[in-house]
A = this chain, B = another copy of it.
Amino acid sequence: MSIKPTAEILGEQKVASLPINREAMALVSNLHRASSLIRQHFEALVLSTNGLHWSAFVTLWCLWIFGELPTHRLSQEVGIAKSSLSSILNDLEKRGFLVRRTPPEERRQCLVQLTAKGEQLLSDIFPRFNEEEAAILVGLTPSAMAVTTNLLRDLIAKLDEE
């Protein structure tokens, strides 16, 4: 059983007289809090060892999954501004994990791809990363996880199309 934290309970009292959607409030509040804690958790336990922060890791992960990508696609997939991606790529390229190239047929674009060193890095890190993912979710029922994942997907789709 989940126990509501004090803030939620007091919040319900405070807004009792207002036309407030409490379920929405609780969901949004917990969503952001969980995300922030997870990020800190992974950066401290798994990523910092390799000198990566969250967005840099996700960038590498996307390239690992998708193969070569143009930067504007990549920034969408990672979920960060293209300007943020640009400096991340500068760093990761300097460290030899990926390469940028300009396709001759479209010289505005910039295609990004992992190097062998980058592939190697992800083959090493990802199992460790996923192990930790599984660890923090242990004890949660598969059906609750499925419901949550689907709800988040719907939410992302709705917010993304704006």
Q: Is the C-beta of A154 less than 8 angstroms from some C-beta in chain B?
A: yes
CB contact between A2 and one of B30, B133, B154 (< 8 Å): that residue: B154
CB interface residues, A 131-162, toward B, < 8 Å: 133-134, 136-137, 139-140, 142, 144-160, 162
A2 — which chain B residues lie within 8 A by C-beta?
149-150, 153-154, 157
CA distance A133 to B103 in the complex (A): 43
State the Cβ distance, A135 to closest chain B Cβ, in Å. Answer: 9
| B159 and A30 contact, CB distance less than 8 A | no
CA distance A45 to B53 in the complex (A): 28
Closest B residue to A29 by beta carbon equals B58
CA distance A77 to B6 in the complex (A): 10
CB interface residues, A 108-152, toward B, < 8 Å: 126-127, 130, 133-134, 136-137, 139-140, 142, 144-152
- Which residue numbers of A lie inside 8 Å of B, CB to CB? 2-7, 10-11, 14-15, 18-21, 23-28, 30-39, 41, 54, 62, 64-66, 77, 79, 126-127, 130, 133-134, 136-137, 139-140, 142, 144-160, 162
